[in-house]
Amino acid sequence: MENLQTVKQRFGIIGNDLQLNRAIEKAVRVAPTDISVLVTGESGVGKESIPKIIHQLSHRKHAKYIAVNCGAIPEGTIDSELFGHEKGAFTGATSTRKGYFEVTDGGTIFLDEVGELPLTTQVRLLRVLENGEFIKVGSSQVQKTNVRIVAATNVKMFEAIKKGKFREDLYYRLSTIEIALPPLRERGEDINLLFRKFASDFAQKNRIPVIRLDENASKSLRNYKFPGNIRQLKNIAEQVSIMEENRSISNDILVRYLPNLSGSLPAVVNEKSSNNDFANERDIMYKILFDMRNDINDLKKLTLDLMQNGNAQQVQEENRGLIQRIYNNEKPASSSSHDVEVVEIPEIATQSNYDFIETIEEDESLSLHEKEIEMIKKSLEKNKGKRKLAAKDLGISERTLYRKIKQYDL
């Protein structure tokens, strides 16, 4: 059995990723047998390399190898392409035609995008896998074929089976051995190796100097998600090679060729955005304070109205919402519930406790700075020093609360 490095060199595979190495080792180990193999992975990860390895390292290597893209053949002609047809089987069938399974007898057939096969074709394929038999379109004669099938798909097969788009029995026949190839974004340092290889090949082919990425550009390339995988990376390498006169590529140049960069690289938080966040939190705090001041003024007015009219029960019922909002964070520590917050509404002040109004007048003279300190203290006391809960009550982040505690030495 050939070693891993020899196989990579022979088939032009670049990279040292652990998942990639495991996939190649699996292909090498299964090659001498005749069992079916299913190669899975996203579009553009290089699934077509695996069936080539399997065929070339098998006893079928001197027989035919045919790759068929099942997704590119129209549904009306896919059966004819795979299994052949008799003369007159359908309009335009002017002669008998051999299908891929007949032509490839004794060799290997690679069914790329097998998940796109129509259900009727899946039934025919299942018969080939089980008995090595097929029937041409328009014929009643059963024919035999000795073909090894290697299939590939980027479809999530279990989801397709659940939706009734792919036969479960066919899936298990195809996937006697399943080989999964990792997406490019999970291959770390392989990304830069592949980029250099593609850039070098393109430069040699077109007789131009090779481009080089600086350190920052290399980092950006490595952090990019590459939805198109290896195909996209090759495309980018060739675009940059042909469009840029300067052979040294900086990060600023490279990012122009990386689509949807904002959604693919980690966001960099600069000092300006951090200051803006602080300003937004400060504005929210001021709004809370001003809303509280308005509520206090409303409460003062209803208290004066109570003193003048003397009907405590009526005033309390008419202003229950306001009273509940004012005292929502003032409930006694003894009242607690896991699911429902119990709000106790205090009795409305009467003529005998006029001191409450004087307290409001004094509170109004406090500065916003003092009110902010007072609110933080009350929230911490209410939540028994738990900063996360206190920050939630105040409507600010825990980080901002921690900064203000240090600032005010609380």
pLDDT tens by residue, 130-174: 999 999 999 999 999 999 999 999 999 999 999 999 999 999 999
Q: What is the pLDDT of residue 274?
A: 45
- The pLDDT mean for the chain works out to 81
* Average pLDDT score over residue span 187-214: 94
Per-residue pLDDT at 321: 60
Integer Rg of the chain from CA: 36
pLDDT 10s digits, 70-124: 999 998 899 999 999 999 888 888 899 999 999 999 999 999 999 999 999 999 9
Rounded Cα distance, 81 and 104, in Å = 12
Contact 153, 40 (CB under 8 A): yes
How far apart CA 15 and CA 89 sit, in angstroms, is: 49
What percentage of the chain exceeds 90 in pLDDT?
A: 59
> Whose CA is closest to 198, among 221, 219, 227?
221
pLDDT at 271 over 70: no
Is there a contact between 39 and 225 (Cβ–Cβ < 8 Å)? Answer: no
Strand 37-40 relative to strand 148-153: parallel, antiparallel, unpaired? parallel
Contacts of 99 (CB under 8 A, 6+ apart): 80, 81, 82, 83, 84, 85, 134, 136
pLDDT of res. 331: 42
pLDDT at 10: 93
Q: Which residues contact 160 (CB under 8 A, 6 or more apart)?
A: 115, 166
Q: Which domains does the chain have, with CATH numbers?
A: 4-182 (3.40.50.300), 186-263 (1.10.8.60), 271-407 (no CATH)
Task: Please provide residue 366's backbone torsions phi and psi, each rounded to the nearest 5 degrees.
Answer: -70, 150
Per-residue pLDDT reduced to its tens digit, 278-324: 555 656 666 676 667 666 766 666 666 666 665 556 655 656 665 56
Beta strand 248-249 with 212-213 is: parallel
Handedness of CA 247, 250, 251, 252 (dihedral sign): negative
The pLDDT assigned to 362 comes to 47
Q: What are phi and psi of 149, to 5 degrees?
A: -105, 125
Please give the share of the chain, as a percent, with pLDDT higher than 70: 73
In angstroms, the CA 332 to CA 344 distance is: 8
Q: In angstroms, rounded to a whole number, what is the distance separating the alpha carbons of residues 300 and 361?
A: 9
